[in-house]
């Protein structure tokens, strides 16, 4: 599901040409009507992310429609279209909350640009609201279906990812290895208007300095020795879709400059050709490095970092979201060759005790291997091949019965904290959470 767009114009030819153009650009959730009086009914049925409104229409003019939309659906960004640049009307529209205005006849990409900017602004405002709201997962559960999680921080990340997905903004995904960055990049693609286009993943570690241009931009036949045919580069292969730049922190400095230029100019010229082509791709970059540190060490260009940091999402390590372990383990069993296998309670406890330096990828490997070994249909702790947990820490889980998770967590945290003579640093390490998280939780329990 991409952005939902409403188009209202009494000129049927205009409606047809706008709908055609927007469909070509990947917007497939379009509602077009020549009748402005139908808008109230449409608003009652569905929420629109953006609306394109003709200012002068018989029956009910565009300003009245704008007023109605801003009253009934204030988050819908409106773009006004006018046949003549009537300044007072335009000023009035902007005062009433319109995002932009365009004068007919429209230049080919003008409307698409305005629409994308409007959607970007809508998404940013939604993000600001989201940060103040209670956590909700993504609305488009289909696009995010492969990501198993019920963890609060993760749900927030997925919802933010969904909001960014609607625009063409470049997204930066950070997180330790195996936390699901590539999976999330694919979900962003599926939740974007580009979902029917290709998803191309490129590992920056595998790029060779001398071949960057040829690999990214493609080349013409005969451009250099061995160039036997015209060859499309990654930018052309990903046209209309998403280009996933994995391990961006490992891109050599000189190539970072070249990448920045593509991001800024959105154009490239294949090696051996003269005419530039449009870079019609959405970039999603990922790294498990700390780019702040890399920038301060001069290993990563500040300008490129700032360009990417605007829409940055961090995937927490699995040891900070142990509440996801059971659901993930069950999902991996379901997807394995032995979907009927179950997890014994002791095996589950062993999974919870482990720190998971390889994160979800490690958990997946452990579960798939154990499912093969579970001869009696149930996975036992020894089949997980994980190190023995420190003794004593799990007694509290044994006695937990059917208590709410928050209460079990509270008692577990406090027992570890007391057992370690209130040493916060050690307790945070044993619990596998950050020191700041532990301090916040202790404060919430009223404990110093």
Ligand X SMILES: Nc1ncnc2c1ncn2[C@@H]1O[C@H](COP(=O)(O)OP(=O)(O)OP(=O)(O)O)[C@@H](O)[C@H]1O
CA torsion 130-136-141-147 (nearest 10°) is 100
Alpha-carbon distance of 69 to 302, in angstroms, equals: 41
Nearer to ligand X, 65 or 185 (CB): 185
Interface with ligand X (CB under 6 A), residue total 20
Nearer to ligand X, 204 or 360 (CB): 360
**Nearest residue (beta carbon) to ligand X:** 180
288 binds ligand X (CB under 6 A): yes
Handedness of CA 165, 181, 183, 281 (dihedral sign): positive
Alpha-carbon distance of 139 to 401, in angstroms, equals: 33
Nearer to ligand X, 100 or 247 (CB): 247
Among 4, 82, 148, 214, binds ligand X (CB under 6 A): 148
181 binds ligand X (CB under 6 A): yes
Among 64, 182, 330, 355, binds ligand X (CB under 6 A): 182
Alpha-carbon distance of 166 to 195, in angstroms, equals: 10
190 binds ligand X (CB under 6 A): no
147 binds ligand X (CB under 6 A): yes
C-beta pairs of 66-71 under 8 Å, 24+ apart in sequence: 66/93, 66/96, 66/97, 66/98, 67/96, 68/39, 68/40, 68/43, 69/39, 69/43, 70/96, 70/97
- Sheet of strand 312-314, all strands in order from the earlier edge strand to the far edge: 199-203, 242-246, 282-287, 171-174, 312-314
Whole-number Cα distances in Å, 182 to 27, 31, 223? 24, 33, 33
Nearer to ligand X, 183 or 312 (CB): 183
Phi-psi region of 250 (alpha: psi -120 to 50; beta: other; left: phi over 0): alpha
Query: For ligand X, which stretch binds (CB under 6 A), given 142-150, 163-171, 217-225, 407-415?
Result: 142-150
Least distance from ligand X to the Cβ atom of residue 364, Å: 5
Query: For ligand X, which stretch binds (CB under 6 A), given 122-130, 135-143, 144-152, 436-444?
Result: 144-152
Nearer to ligand X, 34 or 358 (CB): 358
Query: For ligand X, which stretch binds (CB under 6 A), given 72-80, 156-164, 171-179, 346-354?
Result: 171-179
Least distance from ligand X to the Cβ atom of residue 272, Å: 33
Site residues (CB under 6 A) for ligand X?
A: 146-149, 175, 177-183, 246, 286, 288, 328, 331, 360-361, 364
């Amino acid at each position: 599901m991409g952005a939902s767009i409403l188009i209202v114009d009494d000129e049927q030819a205009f409606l047809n040409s706008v709908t055609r153009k927007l469909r070509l650009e990947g917007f497939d959730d379009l509602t077009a009507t020549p009748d402005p009086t139908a808008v109230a009914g449409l608003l009652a049925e569905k929420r629109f992310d953006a609306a394109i409104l003709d200012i002068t229409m018989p029956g009910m003019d565009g300003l009245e429609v704008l007023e109605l939309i801003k009253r009934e659906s204030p988050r819908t960004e409106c773009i006004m279209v006018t046949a003549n640049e009537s300044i007072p009307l335009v000023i009035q529209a902007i005062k009433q909350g319109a995002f932009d205005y365009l004068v007919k006849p429209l230049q080919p990409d003008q409307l698409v640009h305005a629409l994308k900017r409007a959607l970007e602004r809508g998404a940013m405002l939604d993000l600001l609201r989201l940060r103040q709201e209670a956590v909700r997962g993504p609305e488009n559960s289909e696009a995010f279906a492969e990501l198993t999680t019920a963890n609060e921080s993760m749900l927030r990340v997925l919802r933010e990812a969904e909001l960014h997905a609607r625009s063409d903004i470049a997204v930066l995904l950070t997180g330790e290895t195996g936390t699901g960055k590539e999976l999330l990049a694919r979900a962003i693609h599926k939740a974007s208007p580009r979902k029917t286009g290709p998803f191309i993943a490129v590992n920056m570690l595998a790029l060779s300095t001398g071949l960057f241009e040829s690999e990214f931009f493609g080349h013409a036949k005969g451009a250099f020795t061995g160039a036997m045919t015209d060859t499309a580069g990654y930018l052309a292969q990903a046209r209309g879709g998403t280009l996933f730049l994995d391990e961006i922190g490992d891109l050599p400095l000189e190539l970072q400059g070249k990448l920045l230029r593509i991001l800024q100019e959105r154009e490239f010229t294949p090696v051996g050709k003269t005419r530039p082509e449009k870079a019609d791709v959405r970039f999603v970059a990922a790294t498990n490095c700390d780019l702040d540190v890399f920038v301060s060490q001069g290993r990563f260009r500040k300008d490129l970092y700032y360009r990417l940091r605007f829409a940055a999402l961090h995937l927490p390590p699995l040891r900070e979201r142990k509440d996801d372990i059971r659901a993930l383990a069950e999902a991996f069993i379901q997807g394995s060759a032995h979907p009927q296998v179950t997890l014994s309670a002791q095996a589950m406890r062993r999974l919870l005790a482990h720190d998971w330096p390889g994160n979800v990828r490690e958990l997946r490997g452990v579960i798939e291997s154990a499912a093969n070994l579970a001869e009696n249909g149930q996975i036992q702790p020894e089949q997980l091949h994980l190190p023995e947990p420190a003794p004593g820490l799990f007694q509290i889980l044994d006695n937990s019965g059917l208590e709410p998770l928050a209460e079990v967590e509270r008692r577990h945290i406090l027992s570890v904290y007391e057992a370690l003579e209130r040493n916060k640093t050690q307790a945070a390490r044993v619990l596998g959470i950050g020191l700041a998280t532990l301090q916040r939780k202790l404060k919430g329990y009223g404990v110093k």
